[in-house]
Structure 1
Amino acid sequence: MTRQARLFAIAEYLRGRRTGVTAQAIAERFGVTVRTVYRDLDALRAGDLPLHAEQGRGGGYALDRHYSLPPVNLNAREAAVLIALGAYASRMRLLPFGETLEAALDKVRGALSVSAQRALLSVVEELKFVGVPALPAPAAVRKAVEEAWFTRRPLSVRYRRADGGSGERVVTVVGVIMERHTTLIHCVDSSTGEERHLRLDRVEQAALARSV
């Protein structure tokens, strides 16, 4: 078994377990050393797989139980419409979480049969949206905003003010407002408790804050 195949198999193995699995058990299951298992687990974490270690009886390595959702039964037409609307939102740069959206669209697209892809996706390509896209923001900024929003962790930002100067602050993202020309981050300033609307395109740098 190649390492790539083993990584996929370990991820699926953990996904199917309701309790944690020790590194020794994983090593025995896949016929490798414990050291190799640790390297594989590090590689899965680097690929954003939400692994954590559980302590105590029945503990071990486990996937976050909210990592994946139960199967959703969409018919081909419903899937095609979701793909069309998602692709529009991605092109218009309306959302900060572009990579997550693209990954979701790929999964929906991949669930369609070949015939459905040919028939329906060609139809939805005839759907035209006319509008002014939101101003662009660096990919690293959008990724940090997404992570802070969904995990409710504080976000450290360097922000370009309207007068051209820059300032730094730590905020908690509580929402995103999408106007016709601008995407606004609705947040709470950690030092003052005041609510603010920061323009996403004016955030020059963003990273999860170590402390508030």
Structure 2
Amino acid sequence: MDRQARLFAIAEYLRGRRTGVTAAQIAERFGVTLRTVYRDLDALRSADLPLRAEQGRGGGYALDRHYALPPINLSAREAAVLVALGAYAARMRLLPFAETLEAALDKVRGALSASAQRELLKVLDGLQFVGVPALPSPAAVRRAVEEAWFGGTALRVRYRRADESTSERTVKVAGVIMERHATLVHCVDVDTGEARHYRLDRIDVATPVTSAPASPGGGRR
């Protein structure tokens, strides 16, 4: 078994278990050394697999239970409609989380048979959407906002105002509002508790903050 196949097999092995599994058990299961197992586990973490180590009896390495949803049954027509709508949302930049959306669409497309893809997606080519795309924003900023929102973590953002002056703040993302041509990020300032909306296309830099500052009324810049 080559390494790529083994990494996939280890991920599926962990997904199918209800309790943690030790590195020694993984090594025995796949016939490799402990050193190889630790390298493989590091590679899976680097690929954003939500792998955690649990302590105590029944502990070991395990996947976050919320990593994958249970299987659902979609008809070919339902899948094709989702693909068409998702492609439109990506094209119009309606949803800022473009990479996550594309990954989801790839999975739905992959679930369609070749004939269904040809027939149904051809029919859906007749759908026409008329609208103005939202203003573009840097991919790194979109990724950081997505991670902060879903992960509940803070962000250090550099924001460019309409007059081109900039300010930096540490914020938490409370929501996302999609208007006709602009995507607004609803944020709460960590220092002041003030709520405000930032236009996504005017956030030049967004950096995750591992621990938000605890200043009770910190100043602004």
| TM bin (shorter chain) | over 0.9
Give a deviation string over 1:96-144, Cα, whole Å, max 9, x none.
2111100110111111111111110111122111111011111110000
Query: 1:169 matched to which residue of 2?
Result: 169
- TM-score w.r.t. the length of structure 1 is 0.98
Report 1:61-140 matches (<5 A): 61-140=61-140
| SS of residue in 1 equivalent to 2:108 | helix
Q: Percent identity?
A: 77
Question: Partners in 2 of 1:207 and 1:119 — Cα distance?
Answer: 44
Helix, strand or coil: the match of 1:177?
strand
Aligned residues: 212
Task: State the one-letter code of the partner of 2:50.
Answer: P
Cα distance in structure 1, aligned partners of 2:125 and 2:54: 47
- Quote the residue 2:191 is aligned against: 191
Contact 2:183 2:199 in 1 (8 A): yes
Deviation at 1:210, TM superposition (A): 2.2
**One-letter amino acid of the counterpart of residue 165, structure 2:** G
Q: Secondary structure at the match of 1:118?
A: helix
Q: Which amino acid aligns with 1:75?
A: S
Q: CA deviation at 1:37?
A: 0.6
**Map of 1:32 onto structure 2:** 32
Amino acid at match of 1:70: P
CA contact (8 A) 2:90 2:101 kept: yes
Counterparts of 2:125 and 2:145 in 1: how far apart (Å)?
30
Instruction: State the match for 1:141 in structure 2.
Output: 141
Answering whether residue 59 of structure 2 is matched by residue 59 of structure 1, we say yes
* AA aligned opposite 2:122: S
Aligned letter for 1:149? W
- How many angstroms apart in 2 are the aligned matches of 1:125 and 1:147? 33
* Alignment partner, residue 209 of structure 1: 209
Partner of 2:218: none
Q: Unaligned stretches of 5+ in structure 1?
A: none
Contact 2:182–2:199, Cα closer than 8 Å, also in 1 = yes
In structure 2, C-alpha distance between the alignment counterparts of 1:209 and 1:200, rounded to whole Å: 18
SS in 2 for 1:208: strand
SS state of the match for residue 162, structure 2? Answer: coil
Structure 2, gaps ≥5 residues long: 213-221
2:45 matches 1:45: yes
Deviations 1:148-189 (A, max 9, x none): 010111111111112211111111111110001100001111
Alpha-carbon contact 2:177-2:184 (below 8 Å) kept: yes
Aligned mates of 2:210, 2:48 — CA distance in 1: 19
Question: How far apart are the structure 2 equivalents of 1:22 and 1:125?
Answer: 50
Task: Give TM-score scaled by structure 2 length.
Answer: 0.94
Structure 1 distance, partners of 2:211, 2:66, is: 25
Q: Per the alignment, in what secondary structure is the counterpart of residue 11 of structure 2?
A: helix
SS state at 2:163 partner:
coil
